[in-house]
DNA sequence: TCCCTCCTTGTTTTT
DNA sequence: CAAGGAGGGA
């Protein structure tokens, strides 16, 4: 597999072979699409409604720019949000041109950001080989920081801190730009300080998190106009997919890069903006014309996907939103069926009815690949899975635990990371006691203390520590053995293909054996996954390449060869389409979700409505909406009301079907039901916001430096004190290691920073 | 150091 | 209800 992030170092010597690119055929496009393709110069916003051929416009436009010679491939920057989208873009443009395109900048925001950052890492205090941390690593780091400050993880949940920091990064805010007011009310007022320290730690670890990949770019651009100028001039044409999902940081990044040529083309649909909760700013797309003066706006409103009823139902629904640019989708298609709305008794019946319909369609010859169940929340898939298993209908759950997020894969990768980059403390900590080797928190604390005092990485500290008597003999031997293994594996890298090295590492470390001895039912699958990992490794040039790839590419596309119905969340369904779509769980509290209602106000309700719009517009020919009268939430049975979105669907496009199993539900609508619903939702989870004032924590009580000897010089004969061994006298000095004759403990080798002069 | 029990907490998720 | 984390006891 070619490395999808194989960007050229910019700008390279022109490729020797001028490629025989063919001009894309514009006659196949409709009027709007052609306008969007031909408006090459200047800022352009393409408002592409669902199913209006957005990708086609984007790819044809790219092909056009390249084929007419308006720009060389490396002068074109095309950014997407997912690797899948980037891959698709590459493939389709290559197909249009009839030849592969080399050295162009097509990738996700993060991949492109990483590429730029590696070239200028020094100016933000990183080395070019910095590690990219994922959210799991981040969390680990934040927990450490909380602990170091004696901050109660119950009052200040690490997850919350992580979220706050991430949101700040989304907005392009470095720690020095957090206003006092803002810092004060986040996470008991700790967040601002923690953010600063978190960044310091990352720098010390030579690591960047996902947010940093863009945030550091912004800093580089800000501090170094020459570098910025280089990229501004290089990128003659910039294309952005899914612009409605960009956050402030991404917007600033794009605006900075587009300053020289102003040829930026953003494609998006404000009605499909469903990621505000992770920092996306619909405002970016709503404001485009002000941000880029002289911008041309092209609307794509001819829908090639859905039947008129489906389209009208979706349009009628989304028309209730206030903050939108507004589009009127239309279609040439024949009428088709109305959107079917069905009430059922409970979740089980819902699953039963849906699966019956699936079976009926399947026996009529419809492929399962053409059907999908789209749910609001992940837990909803369970009932469908159970039912599908009973009926022996093949299914796939999309967006479950991803391959690279599985425990065993992350462990294996941590081993590789330590071998490739010994300073990777996060990875080291993850595997130092996996499998269990008796190097628990106590030994680790020792390492930490030393590493902090000496400003070194854990592995470096460990190398030093095993030379001394600081550790108990057993721990010392184990740690020494582990370090020897690291060295050994590192030396293998030069001599052996990296998949073999990996297998060796997994075997020799005892990691494989650990799972082989594990009697739980998952163990076998985990071993399978490890094999799969080794197999996947063969596709990469080197371990380094592989690690870069997986830190950025967390996707796992399954083979789509066999016929299976898809189960996924509405979020996961964006960008996909199916002949038949089932939309269960349209109930107040679940969809729109109670949490959105409680926390996000009217804006959040509009986002939920957009989510409903996305769901409906995934359907080509058939859409079924379901609502149950009773649903089990957190183990309790609740009576629930049909979603307001059901009421908002235009009557003429909806067939409100035989009222199945509404015996209790609708009848009780007048009073008791809604009251009970209200009580249940009011009572449960949404008090997480209640903030109690915490006593101020005395951070001085935590001491990082063990002794005071770190920067002291010791001379032979000097009296000293050591935390563990007590008083003694220096008998020899070897650099920062001392031989001490202890009064009680005999002669020991210890590290200077562990003793203090008395 | 490890294991067990108790308690809390429950969307959506890419990179 | 169910999972994950924290804290306590062996």
How far is A723 from A544, CA to CA, in rounded Å? 41
pLDDT at A585 over 90: yes
The runs of H, that is alpha helices, within A27-134 are 31-38, 54-67, 83-97, 109-119
pLDDT category, A247, cuts 50, 70, 90? Answer: very high
The runs of H, that is alpha helices, within A629-671 are 644-648
Residue A191 and residue A165 in contact, taking contact as beta carbons nearer than 8 Å: yes
**Does the CB of A599 sit below 7 A from strand B?**
yes
- Strand B, nucleotides covered by protein (CB < 7 Å): 1-2, 9-15
Residue A221 and residue A258 in contact, taking contact as beta carbons nearer than 8 Å: no
pLDDT at A129 over 60: yes
**Does the CB of A143 sit below 7 A from strand C?**
yes
The whole-angstrom distance between residue A652's C-alpha and the CA centroid of its chain comes to 41
Give A332-362 pLDDT, tens digit per residue.
888 889 999 999 999 999 999 999 999 999 9
Q: SS3 of A213, please?
A: helix
Q: What is the CA radius of gyration of chain A?
A: 30
Give A691-705 pLDDT, tens digit per residue.
222 222 222 222 233
> Which residues contact residue A577 at a Cβ distance below 8 angstroms, ignoring those fewer than 6 apart?
A51, A305, A618, A619, A620
How far is A260 from A75, CA to CA, in rounded Å? 12
**Among this protein's residues, is A327 annotated catalytic?**
no
Question: Taking the C1' atom of B8, which residue's CA lies nearest?
Answer: A154
Give A742-757 pLDDT, tens digit per residue.
888 888 888 887 888 8
**Among this protein's residues, is A272 annotated catalytic?**
yes
How far is A207 from A521, CA to CA, in rounded Å? 36
pLDDT at A381 over 60: yes
Specify the pLDDT at position A544.
87
A207-209 vs A237-240, strand pairing mode? unpaired
Angle at A208 between CA A207 and CA A209, to 5 degrees: 130
**Among this protein's residues, is A242 annotated catalytic?**
yes
DSSP per-residue string spanning A671-729:
THHHHHHHHHHHHSGGGTT--PPPPPP-GGG-----SS-TT----TT-EEEETTTEEEE
**Does the CB of A612 sit below 7 A from strand B?**
no
pLDDT at A11 over 60: no
Specify the pLDDT at position A401.
66
Please, what is the average pLDDT of chain A? 84
Neighbours of A678 (CB within 10 A): 12
Q: Which of these ranges, A192-206, A298-312, A392-406, A741-755, has the smallest mean pLDDT?
A: A392-406
pLDDT at A49 over 80: yes
The whole-angstrom distance between residue A299's C-alpha and the CA centroid of its chain comes to 30
The whole-angstrom distance between residue A630's C-alpha and the CA centroid of its chain comes to 34
Q: SS3 of A331, please?
A: coil
Protein-to-nucleotide distance from the CA of A439 to the C1' of C7, whole angstroms: 21
The runs of H, that is alpha helices, within A319-406 are 347-363, 381-390
Specify the pLDDT at position A54.
92
Q: Write down the catalytic residue from A324, A437, A564, A618.
A: A618
Q: What is the mean pLDDT of residues A540-560?
A: 74
**Does the CB of A632 sit below 7 A from strand B?**
no
Q: Which of these ranges, A156-160, A357-361, A547-551, A678-682, has the smallest mean pLDDT?
A: A678-682
pLDDT at A644 over 70: yes
Which strand ranges, in their side-by-side order, compose the sheet holding A44-48? Answer: A105-108, A76-80, A237-240, A264-268, A44-48, A296-300
**Among this protein's residues, is A230 annotated catalytic?**
no
The residues of A between 398 and 437 with beta carbon within 7 Å of nucleic strand B are 399, 402, 433, 436
Q: Write down the catalytic residue from A19, A35, A41, A55.
A: A55
Find the Cα–Cα–Cα–Cα dihedral A595, A601, A602, A605, rounded to 10°: -10
How far is A199 from A133, CA to CA, in rounded Å? 12
- Strand C, nucleotides covered by protein (CB < 7 Å): 1-2, 5-6
Specify the pLDDT at position A276.
92
Protein-to-nucleotide distance from the CA of A160 to the C1' of B10, whole angstroms: 15
**Does the CB of A379 sit below 7 A from strand B?**
yes
Q: What is the mean pLDDT of residues A154-165?
A: 85
Name the more confident of A735 and A107.
A107
Q: SS3 of A532, please?
A: helix
The residues of A between 68 and 127 with beta carbon within 7 Å of nucleic strand B are 81-84, 108, 110-111
Give the residue among A555, A557, A561, A568 at the shortest CA–CA distance from A371.
Answer: A568
Name the more confident of A698 and A541.
A541
pLDDT at A2 over 50: no
Protein-to-nucleotide distance from the CA of A158 to the C1' of B9, whole angstroms: 14
> Which residues contact residue A506 at a Cβ distance below 8 angstroms, ignoring those fewer than 6 apart?
A412, A415, A512, A530, A534
């Amino acid at each position: 597999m070619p490395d999808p992030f194989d960007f050229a170092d910019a700008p390279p010597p022109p490729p020797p072979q001028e490629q025989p690119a063919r001009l894309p055929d514009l006659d196949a496009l409709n009027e709007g699409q052609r306008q969007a393709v031909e408006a090459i110069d200047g800022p352009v916003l393409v408002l592409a409604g669902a199913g209006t051929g957005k990708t086609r416009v984007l790819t044809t436009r790219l092909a056009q720019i390249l084929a007419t010679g308006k720009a060389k491939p490396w002068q074109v920057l095309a950014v997407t949000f997912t690797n899948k989208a980037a891959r698709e873009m590459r493939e389709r443009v290559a197909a249009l041109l009839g030849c592969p395109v080399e050295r162009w900048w097509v990738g996700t925001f993060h991949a492109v950001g990483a590429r730029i950052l590696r070239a200028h890492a020094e100016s933000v205090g990183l080395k070019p080989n910095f590690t990219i941390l994922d959210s799991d690593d981040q969390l680990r780091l934040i927990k450490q920081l909380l602990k170091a400050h004696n901050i109660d993880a119950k009052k200040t949940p690490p997850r919350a801190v992580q979220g706050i920091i991430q949101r700040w990064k989304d907005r392009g805010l470095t720690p020095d730009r957090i206003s006092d007011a803002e810092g004060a009310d986040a996470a008991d007022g700790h967040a601002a300080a923690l953010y600063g320290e978190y960044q310091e730690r990352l720098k010390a670890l030579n690591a960047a998190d996902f947010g940093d990949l863009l945030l550091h770019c912004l800093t580089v651009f800000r501090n170094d106009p020459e570098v910025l100028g280089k990229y501004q001039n290089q990128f003659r044409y910039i294309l952005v997919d899914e612009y409605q999902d960009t956050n402030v940081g991404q917007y600033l990044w794009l605006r900075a890069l587009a300053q020289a040529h102003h040829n930026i083309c953003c494609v998006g649909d404000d009605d499909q903006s469903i990621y505000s909760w992770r920092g996306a700013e619909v405002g970016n797309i709503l404001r485009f014309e002000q941000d880029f003066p002289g911008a041309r706006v092209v609307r794509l409103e001819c829908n090639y996907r859905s039947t008129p009823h489906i389209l009208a139902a979706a349009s009628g629904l989304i028309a209730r939103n206030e903050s939108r640019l507004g589009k009127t989708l239309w279609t040439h298609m024949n009428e088709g069926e109305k959107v079917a709305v069905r009430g059922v008794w409970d979740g089980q019946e819902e699953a039963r009815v849906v699966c019956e319909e699936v079976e009926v369609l399947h026996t009529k010859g419809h492929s399962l690949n053409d059907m999908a169940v789209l749910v609001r929340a992940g837990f909803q898939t369970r009932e469908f899975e159970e039912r599908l298993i009973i009926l022996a209908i093949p299914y796939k759950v999309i967006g479950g635990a991803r391959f690279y997020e599985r425990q065993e894969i992350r462990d294996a990768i941590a081993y590789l990371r330590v071998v490739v980059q010994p300073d990777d403390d996060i990875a080291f900590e993850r595997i130092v006691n996996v499998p269990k080797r008796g190097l628990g928190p106590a030994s680790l604390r020792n390492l930490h203390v030393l590493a902090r005092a000496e400003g070194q990485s854990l592995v470096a500290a460990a190398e030093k520590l095993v030379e001394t008597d600081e550790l108990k003999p057993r721990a010392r031997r184990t740690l020494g053995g582990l370090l020897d293994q690291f060295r050994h594996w590192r030396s293998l890298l030069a001599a052996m293909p990296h998949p073999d090295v990996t297998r060796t590492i997994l075997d020799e470390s005892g990691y494989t054996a650990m799972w082989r001895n594990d009697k739980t039912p998952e163990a076998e699958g985990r071993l399978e996954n490890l094999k799969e990992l080794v197999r996947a490794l063969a596709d990469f040039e080197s371990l380094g390449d592989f690690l870069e790839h997986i830190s950025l590419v967390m996707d796992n596309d399954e083979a789509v060869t066999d016929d299976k119905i898809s189960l996924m969340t509405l979020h996961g369904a964006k960008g996909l389409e199916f002949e038949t779509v089932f939309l269960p769980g349209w109930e107040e509290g679940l969809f729109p979700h109670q949490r959105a209602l409680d926390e996000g106000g009217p804006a959040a309700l509009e986002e939920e409505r957009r989510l409903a719009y996305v769901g409906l517009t995934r359907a080509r020919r058939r859409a079924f909406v379901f609502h149950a009268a009773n649903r089990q939430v957190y183990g309790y049975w609740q009576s629930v009301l049909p979603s307001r979105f059901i009421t908002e669907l235009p009557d003429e496009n909806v067939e409100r079907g035989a009222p199945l199993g509404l015996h209790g539900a609708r009848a009780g609508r007048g009073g008791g039901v809604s009251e009970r619903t209200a009580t249940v939702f009011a009572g449960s989870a949404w008090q997480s916001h209640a903030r109690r004032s915490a006593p101020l924590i005395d951070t001085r009580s935590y001491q990082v430096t063990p002794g005071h000897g770190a920067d002291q010089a010791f001379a032979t004969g000097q009296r000293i004190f050591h935390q563990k061994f007590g008083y003694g006298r220096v008998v020899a000095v070897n650099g920062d290691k001392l031989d001490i004759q202890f009064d009680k403990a005999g002669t020991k080798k210890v590290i200077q920073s562990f003793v203090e002069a008395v």
